[in-house]
Amino acid sequence: MIRELIRENKGRKFMEEVNKNKNKLEEKDSAGRTALIEAFQLNRYFHAKILLDKGANADVVWENKSIVNLAIQGKHMEMVKLAATYQSNMEALNHVSQKCLTN
């Protein structure tokens, strides 16, 4: 349900669902994605920020891509900044810095 609300770009209902189901934030879909991964894939800043604020794992990796990698791939600087703010992996942060400086 949480991922569906991200895809549909719903706000209020999404927040209600996240608050009711905080214990399900790390559940994966059949492709192995968490809700946070999906939010970053779709460049949904609002949804990603809420998930991170509610405790979603910022160090999650899907198909060898972190949220930082997905943000860079999506070419949305605000998503890159958001990911870098919550990412605890210093190697990933260094990668972001290098990538941003070369683009």
Domains of the chain, first to last = 2-102 (1.25.40.20)
**Whole-structure pTM over 0.85, yes or no?**
no
Residues 18-58 pLDDT 10s: 999 989 899 999 999 999 999 999 999 999 999 999 999 98
- CB–CB of 21/2 below 8 Å? yes
Angle at 29 between CA 36 and CA 55, to 5 degrees: 30
Distance CA 100, CA 2 (A): 31
Q: What is the mean pLDDT of residues 63-88?
A: 86
In the Cβ-directed half-sphere of 76, how many Cα atoms lie within 13 Å? 16
